[in-house]
Structure 1
Amino acid sequence: MTRRRPSLLAALTLTAAAALTLSACGGDDSSSDEKDKIAGADTGSEPSTSPSESAPAEADRPKIELPTDVTYKFEWDKTGDPVKDAVLHDAEQRIRAVDMAIAEQDPLHEAYRFYSEGEAAAGSQKYIQDFIDHKARTTGMTRYYGESVNVKGDGTASLVYCEDQSKAFNKFLKTGKTDVTSVTKDSYVLYAGTLRKNGKGVWVTERLVSERGSSKCQP
């Protein structure tokens, strides 16, 4: 359940591990084969400054360092609500942490495990291992948009968002070759995650499912 690029892995004739980012997944998300139905997505938000600019400072957070060719465009609005902005920030960090684990070829990297637990962490580990098995990593730019956050009274939060993978690809480590794939409706993925605030004050992703090719995320 890592969050993402199951379609990219499919180009390697893989079984999509945990689409996601499980964190992106990254884990990040569930396999695109599951076609989980996700309700409540609102993709009408206008892009603005990423909430990552106001990072929560409670915990001693891992440093996220990525190759220069791995970039993101987070079009997630600052909500003005410090709790919702913290949820968005930590979800963004999980996405970055999964890509760092892939780049460093470490399926048990401490960074993504800092931001995920349970099903999400297990899905990310499998997703990262798929890249390691094929001696590949991610490259290019991934865009995130259409987010919707709902904080609940039980200390959990739900997060729905879209991912645009049209400019993100696989890069093979031995040859340096980038596997450029064509853009289709499946380049756009809808994610729905459940997060919980842990004792360190971090919003960890516990579960993340995806729907590849969702009409809610099409350009």
Structure 2
Amino acid sequence: MNRRARIATAALVVSTALLLTACGSGGGSDSPQGKIKGADAADEKSSAGPSASAAQDGVKRPEITLPKEFQADFEGWTNSDAKLQAIMNDGREELRSEYAAVIAANPDSDAVAFYNAEAPLASARKWIKQFVVDDVTLIGKVTVSDPQVHINDTGSGVLFYCVDERKASTKNRKTGKITTTADKPENVLQYRTRLDKSAQGVWKVTSSTVVPAGCS
């Protein structure tokens, strides 16, 4: 299954999406029927500014900063359940870490490694490296919304959310050429992730699937 059918570059479009070596589960308690059971997200927008380097749980987390040229707006990213909120927080930072790594042209980003287990880390690094090869960065804005989260029977966190990339673009670092993302339904993606809590107390992504037009 494809992990990253995301923000088109001159050479990276939906038809050439990168592959995930460990896709999310396709059934059972990981598969939503409409809304995910147990989801309870408020309609608020969270800041796209620097992330906190330490959380209330005492875990030292990397600081992730996105430049003003690229915004990642998280809407409704709150939950009344503290444990579910912790899953959402780490899921949010995992996504932000990848955007930051693309912009920094750094596939070996420590922050990306911090939030990903081995298999999804390899896939994420491959996706980031493609931007480095194409010598492009990210500009514009993505909107991340409709988070749906629960804990399945095995104790894993299951987090689904939507990413609207239609206002995001890539920019060639040398020429300045901008490649816009088409205003099409397939560019509103649904992320289906599973996260497991590490010994250090971090909810790391252990599998991820991206579904183009999955939120339509």
Q: TM-score range by the shorter chain?
A: 0.7 to 0.9
Change (3 A) 1:189 1:13: closer
Question: Does residue 42 in structure 1 map to residue 38 in structure 2?
Answer: no
Change (3 A) 1:81 1:2: farther
Question: Does residue 90 in structure 1 map to residue 98 in structure 2?
Answer: no
The match for 1:212 is 212
Distance 1:168 1:5 in 2: 14
| Contact 2:185–2:213 (CA under 8 A) maintained in structure 1 | yes
**Per-residue CA shift, 1:45-78, capped at 9, x if unaligned?**
6622449899444221111122221111111342
Question: Does residue 150 in structure 1 map to residue 150 in structure 2?
Answer: yes
Counterpart residue identity of residue 35, structure 2 = D
| Contact 1:146–1:162 (CA under 8 A) maintained in structure 2 | yes
- Give the deviation of 1:39 after TM superposition: 3.8
| Contact 1:6–1:17 (CA under 8 A) maintained in structure 2 | no
Distance 1:212 1:174 in 2: 30
- Give the deviation of 1:84 after TM superposition: 0.4
Greater Cα offset, 37-46 or 105-114: 37-46
- Percent identity over paired residues: 26
**Per-residue CA shift, 1:152-190, capped at 9, x if unaligned?**
354411111111111111111112222123201111111
| Contact 2:5–2:211 (CA under 8 A) maintained in structure 1 | no
Distance 1:168 1:3 in 2: 18
Any residues of structure 2 matched to 1:1-219 within 5 Å, and which? 4=4, 6-9=6-9, 11-12=10-11, 15-18=16-19, 39-40=31-32, 42=35, 47-50=43-46, 55-152=55-152, 154-214=154-214, 217-218=215-216
Greater Cα offset, 40-49 or 57-66: 40-49
Work out which of the two has the higher radius of gyration on C-alpha atoms and give 1 or 2.
Answer: 2
Structure 1: gaps of 5 or more residues: 31-35
Counterpart residue identity of residue 135, structure 1 = D
Which one has the bigger strand percentage? Answer: 2
Change (3 A) 1:42 1:81: same
Q: Please report the RMSD computed on the Cα atoms of aligned residues, expressed in angstroms.
A: 3.0
| Contact 1:137–1:172 (CA under 8 A) maintained in structure 2 | yes
| Contact 2:193–2:206 (CA under 8 A) maintained in structure 1 | yes
Change (3 A) 1:103 1:77: closer
Q: TM-score, normalised by structure 1?
A: 0.80
3-state secondary structure, aligned to 1:147: strand
| Contact 2:2–2:17 (CA under 8 A) maintained in structure 1 | no
Change (3 A) 1:167 1:175: same
- Give the deviation of 1:3 after TM superposition: 5.9
Structure 2: gaps of 5 or more residues: none
Q: TM-score, normalised by structure 2?
A: 0.81
Distance 1:75 1:172 in 2: 29
